[in-house]
């Protein structure tokens, strides 16, 4: 095991897969000379050259479209978009082409590509650089959606994504790039559709998405220390496919559920999970599932307002205590 920052773990995953398979290449804005907006592609140009680390024009629709074409012709592109917000400019290519082409051609054409996108708030980048669009891509058939919260999972999931024959939307939280964690030195893959139980507990199940899995861990410590509550924390790691069985098994044990995400409340990941839990584990619930989400506002630029729009551990603690009391917060 080595201790790496998440950006380093992601870089190593790409480098290892590029060494293993010559059909893998990286493309995106400033991924070469500038080493990526968040320095995730640092060193790749020096090792693999311009042929396999390609700086592109500032046109997300063009970048993703070129990636789709390359994937259909036998390559495995890793497309980096500078932020998930800018993926909206490529929504036609992602939804109508990357996701739909294998279906429309009855599997005769595959689109094995990874679209890496940083997102999330907390850096005072304003509303057009701070979105959390996990729910948007979760809804699209044909896409796989990965949301790692630790360096180790980020590396293993990205390696799995690169080898998969389906298009993968790989969402990385901007606040996690500098976070350190243990990363396997070998060729360990993290399978899609397998959640990780970050902490075992008996009183309440807390499901955290992306960065919120880490915030949920902090909240679980507070719940145990200050309230004597044993919280089980689950990180889904991938939202499509979703390991619902692990979540349902946990709810069957704890009889209470809290879902935490940074995205907006209406039609979000938490709304989806809350419905699935209610539908499939209703008899196990002692109270309605609680949702902790970002505020229903555009992300403010002001630091204090931005922090007020993002969930924190105290919000998770309050939601857990509320569901244990059987009342809405």
Tens of pLDDT, residues 141-179: 999 999 999 999 999 999 999 999 999 999 999 999 999
Q: Which CATH class is domain 196-324?
A: alpha beta
Among 8, 80, 129, 172, the active-site one is: 129
In tens, the pLDDT along 234-288 reads 999 999 999 999 999 999 999 999 999 999 999 999 999 999 999 999 999 999 9
DSSP letter for 282, please: G
How far apart are the C-alpha atoms of 284 and 107, rounded to whole Å? 40
In tens, the pLDDT along 92-149 reads 999 999 999 999 999 999 999 999 999 999 999 999 999 999 999 999 999 999 999 9
How far apart are the C-alpha atoms of 199 and 234, rounded to whole Å? 7
Domain extents in the chain: 2-183, 196-324
CB 134 within 8 A of CB 239: yes
Among 17, 60, 80, 134, the active-site one is: 60
In tens, the pLDDT along 182-219 reads 998 888 999 999 999 999 999 999 999 999 999 999 99
Burial label, 284 (beta-carbon count in 10 A; 0-12, 13-18, 19+): middle
Res 329: pLDDT: 45
Residue 140 CA neighbour count, 13 Å, CB half: 25
Residue 162 CA neighbour count, 13 Å, CB half: 28
Closest CA to 320 of 293, 290, 295: 290
Torsion-angle region of residue 126: left (phi > 0), alpha (psi -120 to 50) or beta? left
Res 46: pLDDT: 97
Active site residue 8: no
Q: Does pLDDT of 327 surpass 70? A: no
Closest CA to 190 of 135, 233, 144, 140: 144
Cite the DSSP H helix spans in the chain: 6-20, 44-48, 60-72, 91, 101-104, 134-138, 151-163, 211-227, 244-254, 269-280, 303-309, 313-324
CB 285 within 8 A of CB 253: no
How far apart are the C-alpha atoms of 42 and 57, rounded to whole Å? 19
Active site residue 129: yes
SS3 label, residue 76 = strand
Encode 36-47: b = buried (16+ Cβ within 10 Å), e = exposed: bbbebbeebbee
- Tell which CATH architecture fits domain 2-183: 3-Layer(aba) Sandwich (3.40)
How far apart are the C-alpha atoms of 42 and 46, rounded to whole Å? 9
Res 328: pLDDT: 46
Helix (H) / strand (E) element for 198: namely: strand 196-199
The answer to whether the 2-183 and 196-324 domains have the same CATH topology is yes
How far apart are the C-alpha atoms of 67 and 72, rounded to whole Å? 9
Phi first, then psi, for residue 236 (nearest 5°) are -65, -30
């Amino acid at each position: 095991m080595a201790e790496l920052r998440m950006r380093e773990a992601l870089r190593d995953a790409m480098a290892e897969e590029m060494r293993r398979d010559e059909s893998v290449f990286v493309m995106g804005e400033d991924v070469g000379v500038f080493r990526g907006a968040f320095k995730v592609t640092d060193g790749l140009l020096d090792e693999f050259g311009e042929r396999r680390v390609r700086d592109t024009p500032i046109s997300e629709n063009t970048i993703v479209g070129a990636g789709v074409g390359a994937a259909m012709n036998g390559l495995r592109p890793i497309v980096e978009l500078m932020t998930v917000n800018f993926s909206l400019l490529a929504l036609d290519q992602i939804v109508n082409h990357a996701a739909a082409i294998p279906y429309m051609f009855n599997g005769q054409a595959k689109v094995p590509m990874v679209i890496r996108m940083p997102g999330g708030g907390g850096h005072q980048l304003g509303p057009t650089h701070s979105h959390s669009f996990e729910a948007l891509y979760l809804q699209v058939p044909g896409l796989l959606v990965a949301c790692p919260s630790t360096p180790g999972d980020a590396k293993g999931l990205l390696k799995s994504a690169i080898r998969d024959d389906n298009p993968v939307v790989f969402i990385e939280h901007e606040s996690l790039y500098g976070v350190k964690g243990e990363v396997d030195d070998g060729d360990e893959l993290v399978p899609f559709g397998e959640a990780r139980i970050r902490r075992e507990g008996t009183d309440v199940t807390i499901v955290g998405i992306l960065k919120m899995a880490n915030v949920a861990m902090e909240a679980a410590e507070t719940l145990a220390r200050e309230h004597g509550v044993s919280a089980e924390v689950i990180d889904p790691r991938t939202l499509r496919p979703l390991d619902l069985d692990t979540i349902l098994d946990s709810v069957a044990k704890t009889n209470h559920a809290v879902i935490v995400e940074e995205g907006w409340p209406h039609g979000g990941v938490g709304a989806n999970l809350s419905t699935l839990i209610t539908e499939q584990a209703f008899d196990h619930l002692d109270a309605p599932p609680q949702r902790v989400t970002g505020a229903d506002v555009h992300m403010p630029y002001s630091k204090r307002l931005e922090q007020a729009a993002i969930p924190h551990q105290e919000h998770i603690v309050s939601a857990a205590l509320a569901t244990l009391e059987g009342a809405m917060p």
